Amino acid sequence: MTNAATTVRKPYTPKEAVERLRHGDLGAWPVVGGLIAIAIVFGSLNEHFLSPENLTNLALQMAATGTISLGIIMVLLLGEIDLSAGSVSGLCAVVMAILSERMHWNPLLAILTALVAGALVGLLHGLMFTRIRMPSFVVTLAGLIGWQGLLLYLLGSGGIINLPFDGFVAKLSDTWLPSWLAWTVAAALVTVYAASGLIGRRLRIAADLPVTATWWPVAKVGGLAIVLAGSVLVMSADRGVPLLLVIFGGLVVVLDLVLRHTAFGRWMYAVGGNVEAARRAGIGVTRIRVLAFVLSSVLAAFGGILAASRLSAVNQGSGGSDILLMAIAAAVIGGTSLFGGRGRTYAALLGILVIQSITNGMYLLSVDSSVRYMVTAAVLALAVAIDSLARRGSTT
């Protein structure tokens, strides 16, 4: 029997690393490589692309859609799809605006009510999927159309509700962390990440399970520290770290901890990997599926509120345009499998960063939107191709 200490100290060899890649364990490396290539290409074509001002704007632009993408990931982990996320985000933002501006509710209570509305929408979708056994594609496609119609009905003939620039909701996107607080948040994120990795490592050792060599988690913590420190330095050279980015980053971290270190998270991956095996193991498959749709809609609602904060308004186009497609593309480009059972919440962060970087860079170069759509489509197709090849490789 292999000694646990020997297993712990065993480092990755180049041959083992290649073998892991061959069997589909690509991790985030393709996305990281893509981000580096994007930075090099657009940075060389336009000197403003890597400026502190533009990078800060980029952080603001990705928060709302990235939050919606987090919800999409919850459903994709089960091998399902949620096409209603965009419409739900717009509808819940309108609910929030009506309650806070027309009915003069407290903004926090209006936001909470909008999130509850999102949860009820997700509950309805989940029950239609699990109880009536309607395909998730059909359920959420109907939701996409129906919730968009309800949004238009609630807005009425005016078609727009403006939010006060000095109000609580608008201030969410116009609040910047002071330097000391930004560094504190960065240090806290590194500490939480390191502690999470250490706890997981000790639990695996206690269970006599193999773990990676010590240098690998240390390198990951060091890499995260370097990335966060660089981000704080760059954005502090402009207006500072935006509160929206902190909110989005916090959601990514919390949901990642939930998926990796709770029974609910393990059940999510189990159901997405093999529904029948999960059912025979005693997992409440129906409950997990319903909760996934609820989480998707709640995160979509919150993403819609963040988008309304940036615009200081809601209108008939809220949650429309290409928001849904970008949210799904971000999840897939970031490494979440369309076949279920594989993916991390960091996929939303990496994927939306890729999409927004491409979009931002093309805007700076005055490239026509038609070209931007085609390039984004090509990147998405490449991501799906990599996922398909990795899945095929993992079965050989």
Question: Model confidence over 232-244: pLDDT tens digits?
Answer: 999 988 888 999 9
Q: Is the pLDDT of residue 97 over 90?
A: yes
Report the percentage of the chain scoring pLDDT > 70. 90
pLDDT classification of 47: cutoffs 50, 70, 90: confident
End-to-end CA distance of the chain: 26
Partner residues linked to 177 by β-bridges = 241
Residue whose structure tokens are 């709640």? 298
Residue whose structure tokens are 């005016």? 158
- Residue 9 within any structural domain of the chain: no
Calculate mean pLDDT across residues 57-66: 89
Calculate mean pLDDT across residues 112-139: 95
- For residue 393, what pLDDT is reported? 57
Partner residues linked to 162 by β-bridges = 313
- Residue 22 within any structural domain of the chain: no
- What letter does residue 315 receive in the DSSP assignment? E
pLDDT classification of 383: cutoffs 50, 70, 90: confident
Backbone angles phi, psi at 27, to 5 degrees: 60, -145
- Residue 20 within any structural domain of the chain: no
Residues, the chain: 396
**Contact assessment for residue 96 and residue 395, using Cβ atoms and an 8 Å cutoff:** no
Tokens in use for 58?
């980029």
pLDDT classification of 27: cutoffs 50, 70, 90: low
- Residue 375 within any structural domain of the chain: yes
- How many DSSP H helices and E strands does the chain contain? 17, 4
- For residue 213, what pLDDT is reported? 79
Segment holding 393, helix H or strand E: helix 369-394
**Contact assessment for residue 104 and residue 168, using Cβ atoms and an 8 Å cutoff:** no
Q: Is the pLDDT of residue 363 over 90?
A: no
Q: What is d(CA 396, CA 394) in angstroms, rounded to the nearest whole number?
A: 6
Average of per-residue pLDDT values in the chain: 85
Contacts of range 213-216, beta carbons closer than 8 Å, 24 or more positions apart: 213/9, 213/10, 213/11, 213/12, 214/8, 214/9, 215/11, 216/11, 216/12
Q: What is d(CA 282, CA 144) in angstroms, rounded to the nearest whole number?
A: 33
Q: Is the pLDDT of residue 21 over 60?
A: no
Residue 177 structural domain: 32-39+47-394
How many distinct structural domains can be found in the chain?
A: 1
Closest C-alpha among 163, 64, 146, 52 to residue 107:
163
- Residue 148 within any structural domain of the chain: yes
Calculate mean pLDDT across residues 336-350: 83
Tokens in use for 113?
């009510």
> 49-69 burial, b if ≥16 CB within 10 A, otherwise e?
bebeebbbbbbbbbbbbbbbb
6-to-206, 211, 216, 395 alpha-carbon distances in Å: 13, 10, 16, 28
Q: Is the pLDDT of residue 24 over 70?
A: no
- Residue 254 within any structural domain of the chain: yes
- For residue 204, what pLDDT is reported? 81
**Contact assessment for residue 352 and residue 69, using Cβ atoms and an 8 Å cutoff:** yes
- Residue 27 within any structural domain of the chain: no
pLDDT classification of 394: cutoffs 50, 70, 90: low
Strand blocks (E) in 289-344:
313-315
Q: Is the pLDDT of residue 2 over 80?
A: no
Radius of gyration of the chain from Cα atoms?
A: 21
Least confident of 4-18, 167-181, 255-269, 325-339: 4-18
Q: What is d(CA 317, CA 84) in angstroms, rounded to the nearest whole number?
A: 14
- Residue 237 within any structural domain of the chain: yes
Q: Is the pLDDT of residue 150 over 90?
A: yes
Calculate mean pLDDT across residues 94-109: 93
Calculate mean pLDDT across residues 89-117: 94
Least confident of 17-31, 162-176, 256-270, 334-348: 17-31
pLDDT classification of 366: cutoffs 50, 70, 90: confident
Give 273-290 pLDDT, tens digit per residue. 889 899 998 899 999 999
User: How crowded is residue 329: how many other Cβ atoms within 10 Å of its Cβ?
Assistant: 25
**Contact assessment for residue 308 and residue 96, using Cβ atoms and an 8 Å cutoff:** yes
- For residue 14, what pLDDT is reported? 44
Segment holding 176, helix H or strand E: strand 176-177
